[in-house]
Amino acid sequence: TSTLKEAFDGKFLLGTALHVDHTNGLRAASSSLVEKQYNSIVAENCMKPEEIHPSEGVYNFTEADQFVEYGEKHNMFIVGHTLVWHSQVPDWFFINAEGKECSREELIERMKDHIYTVVGRYKGRVDAWDVVNEAIDDKEGLRKSKWYNIIGEDFIDLAFQFAHEADPNAELYYNDYSMILPHRRAEAVRLVKRLLDKGIRVDGIGMQAHYGVDYVKIPEFEKSITDFADLGVKVMLTELDISVLPFPTEEISAEISQKYAKSPEFDPYPENLPDSMQVKLAQNYVDLFKVLIKHQDKISRVTFWGVNDAHTWRNNWPIEGRTDHPLLFDRNNQPKEAYHAVLELAKSN
Ligand code: G3I
């Protein structure tokens, strides 16, 4: 029997996000599954500014070093995540020595130092970076983050420019969620086209793909892939998971969270996922992978956001303490129906 990376060989890379416990030996069974099944990894948290650059001039590379060494040891395509994001970035970035909000010039200098230091440290070792993450607003235009408000929309241009300067051979990606919603897709196209027209290096668009069962409209999914590919960049699914719990969208709504927190549906599958849901989840994955295989000339990588159901972030979002089952492997690292269905599909195509 083959494994995911073997079944998809020649189509696209198959990846997973790693927690620090995958590279320090604490999740040995789960790590050996990673080594068998996947040929690409991304850091779930340890390269985020909050973790790697917690205060000015202080870098904490221990976990990121371990992550990169692990990928090298196992010959994997290594993705760094993420350089510039509105979330998980410590406040000090935006405050100057006088305790005031820093100026455009100061913030650009800090961003440059951050990118040069982090990308520079792993030059020639990390294959690709999610340079800018989630810069698109949920309603319209670009998100009014501190990066945007202080620097202006060219914070994106500068981030890509600095990353390219720090490692001219690394691939550079724009990464965002809900890329199948028409207005967010259009904004991503506009954004990446603007960068490419200016001669800025952008190698690909990452569609995060935090979905839920029966949430994805396949024609929209397919249109995003083809629209992005038409720009001449690679397309990838960078954070794939399909929640089986109520609240199947990628958008946060406090109101809906509150509603489910009180409903009997709060935690409907606290033990195993029932067979009927296993089948439904498998079908949802198959529907996506059919499209991905059809467009394999445009897709360079599909990465799951986590290894098994025990540690997925979906157990805690948008409400903490639920029991989700969004991945291909269950809490004991056993392959689920969805795993077998995806594997069979790849082998027969
Ligand atoms: O490591 C600290 C620990 O020291 C502390 O005691 C504990 C208390 O809260 O927090 C721990 O950090 C948590 C971290 O995950 C590591 O487990 C953070 O609170 C928690 O917010 C963080 O969540 C991560 C989230 O991004 C925010 O950075 C999730 O694991 C991670 O899966 C998620 O990933 C994001 C992608 O980067 C971008 N796209 C969306 C995706 C899902 O939100």
Residues 219 and 288: their CA atoms lie apart, in Å, by: 11
Tell me, what's the pLDDT at 100? Answer: 96
Query: Catalytic site residue 239?
Result: yes
The average pLDDT across 303-311 equals 98
89: DSSP letter: -
Lowest-pLDDT range, 110-119, 196-205, 318-327? 318-327
**Residues whose CB is less than 8 angstroms from the CB of residue 257 and which lie 6 or more positions away in sequence, other chains included:** 247, 318, 319
Residue range 195-226, pLDDT digits in tens:
999 999 999 999 999 999 999 999 999 999 99
Residue list, ligand 1 pocket, CB within 6 Å: 44-45, 48, 88, 133, 208, 239, 313
Name the average pLDDT for the chain. 95
Assess whether pLDDT exceeds 50 at residue 85. Answer: yes
Place of tokens 């870098």: 59
Structure tokens at 91: 């406040």
Given pLDDT bands bounded at 50, 70 and 90, which one contains residue 252? low
The pLDDT value recorded for residue 320 is 81
Query: At residue 342, does pLDDT exceed 70?
Result: yes
Can you give the pLDDT at residue 308?
Answer: 98
The architecture (CATH level 2) of 4-243+300-308 comes to Alpha-Beta Barrel (3.20)
Q: Whose CA is nearest to atom 17 of ligand 1?
A: 45
- ipTM, two decimals: 0.94
Q: Do residues 290 and 2 make contact, with C-beta atoms less than 8 angstroms apart?
A: no
Q: What is the pLDDT of residue 248?
A: 47
Q: How many angstroms does the Cα of residue 317 sit away from the middle of ligand 1?
A: 11
Q: Is the pLDDT of residue 250 over 70?
A: no
Return the structure tokens found at 291: 């499209």
Higher pLDDT pick, 254 / 288: 288
Alpha carbon of 83 to ligand 1 centroid (Å) = 15
Can you tell me whether residue 54 is helix, strand or coil?
Answer: coil
| Percentages of the chain per state (helix, strand, coil), in multiples of 5 | 45, 15, 40
Q: Could you tell me the maximum CA-CA distance found in the chain, to the nearest angstrom?
A: 63
Which pLDDT band, with edges at 50, 70 and 90, does 251 fall under? Answer: low
**Ligand 1 center–CA 45 separation, angstroms:** 6
pLDDT (0 to 100) of residue 321 = 84
The structure tokens listed for 52 are: 């790697």
Q: How far is the CA of 291 from the centre of ligand 1 (A)?
A: 30
Q: 263 pLDDT band (50/70/90 cuts)?
A: confident
> Residue 243 has which token pair?
């929640």
Q: Which residue has the higher pLDDT, 51 or 317?
A: 51
Pocket mutation for ligand 1, best pick of 18, 22, 45 (most atoms within 8 Å of C-beta): 45
Quick one: pLDDT at residue 253? Answer: 63
Give distance in angstroms: CA of 136 to centre of ligand 1: 20
Instruction: Name the residue ranges covered by the structural domains of the chain.
Output: 4-243+300-308
Instruction: List the catalytic residue out of 134, 171, 187, 337.
Output: 134
Q: What DSSP string describes 233-259?
A: SEEEEEEEEEE-SS--SSS--HHHHHH
Residue with tokens 């995958």: 22
Of 44, 171, 239, 250, the active-site residue reads: 239
* Mean pLDDT on 117-144: 97
Instruction: Tell which one of 21, 22, 24, 44 to mutate to probe ligand 1, the residue whose CB is within 8 A of the most ligand atoms.
Output: 44
| pTM to 2 decimal places | 0.96
Q: Which residue shows structure tokens 């969620």?
A: 177
In the chain, which residue ranges form alpha helices assigned H by DSSP?
4-7, 20-23, 28-37, 49-52, 62-73, 104-121, 146-151, 155-166, 182-197, 218-230, 254-262, 275-294, 337-347
Nearest CA to ligand 1 atom 3: 51
| Cis preceding-peptide flag for 82 (omega within 30 of 0) | yes
- For residue 133, the cross-strand partners are 175
pLDDT band at 182 (very low <50, low <70, confident <90, very high): very high
| Average pLDDT estimate for 80-93 | 97
